[in-house]
Amino acid sequence: MHAVPGGPWRGWFHAGIVAAVWVIGARAPAWAHLGCDQSAAAAIPQRAPHALTGSQFARQVEHVSGTARDAAIDAELLSGNLPQFLRRLVPVTLRDADSAGTEVVVCVLPDYLAVGSNRDFVFVPMGLRAALTVADRFGFTLPTPKLVDAIYAAAATRLAPIPLPAGDQMRSTAYFVRHNDLISQEREQLGAVLGDLTAGDKKDLVLTSRLWRFPGRVAIYGWHIAERRPIQPLSTFHGARYADYSHGVRLVSGTVYVNGLRTRMAEALAQPAIARLLTSEGPLTDVTGHLSALMDRLN
């Protein structure tokens, strides 16, 4: 178990010329002091005083899997049972060198969704429907593969991926608890701080047009070992209900800032000059409609 001492609807193989993208660290734009609007994170229900810890939840779902476990995870997250360190949005800033200096700030949760408290939490892999349900209810979305790359490049804490032996057990609760413990140990060895932007610990469920081109599938990408070196290329091999220990769900705010101006993520993804910073697929139009139709099919 991950015990730590002290402590809205919205890409990947190149489809033409892709502009160079830089993640901005110290060289932030003049308006970057605006940071991220924290209202979406603040709107997540508060954790109840006697909510289950991560360890307790893991025991509760020890012999549960698939959609039944997803339902239990959704119930905990939607009730507000997630750690305090996940209730803050962190800015990731991108610049397109070929689009007149356009800069986009995307606001993301610092790590993957987990159930429990800061002292005792467990990361929770989910099928696509469960992940999209939580994202939609909280007013967030999933990252694109390009954003997963940018998050890794900007991360203050980069954890080394910890693959476990493959097999049917990969989807079991025991396996994701074991992986959770290994991540906890690595974090402690590094002296990593909860709430810092963290990457490398999980593969991401991602947003891609493949989801509506091949409905019934989940899209997975990431688990970086270095910048531009993910273990997992973009894949829609698994069905939408599939989830194993290596999967994580990182939420991204439905609001982005384009040269300091608030813009809906769905609108930004539809505009060619902006979308090229966010996805390698070209503009993604009517993302809201596509995901709504997808959810109808997954129900």
Check residue 1 and give its pLDDT. 61
pLDDT tens profile 193-222: 999 999 999 999 999 999 999 999 999 999
Q: What is the full DSSP assignment across the chain?
A: -EE-S-------S--S----EEE-SSS--TTGGG---THHHHTSPPPPTTPPPHHHHHHHTTT--HHHHHHHHHHHHHTT-S-GGGSS-EEEEEEETTTTT-EEEEEE-SS--EEE-SSEEEE----HHHHHHHHHHHTEEPPPHHHHHHHHHH-SEEPPP-----SGGGGSHHHHHHHHHHHHHHHHHHTPPTTS-EESSSEEE---THHHHSTTB--EEEEEEETTEEEEEEE--SBTT---TTEE---EEEEEEETTEEEEHHHHHHSHHHHHHH-SS-----HHHHHHHHHHHH-
Residue percentage of the chain with pLDDT more than 70: 88
pLDDT score, position 2:
52
**pLDDT value of residue 96:** 77
Q: In which band, very low, low, confident or very high, does the pLDDT at 34 lie, cut at 50, 70 and 90? A: low
Count the domains in the chain.
1
Q: What is the pLDDT of residues 69-117, one digit of tens each?
A: 999 999 999 999 999 999 999 999 998 776 568 899 999 999 999 999 9
Residue 155 has pLDDT above 60, yes or no: yes
What's the pTM value of the predicted model, to 2 decimals? Answer: 0.88
Domain that holds residue 26: 2-298
Residue 150 clears pLDDT 50, i.e. is over it: yes
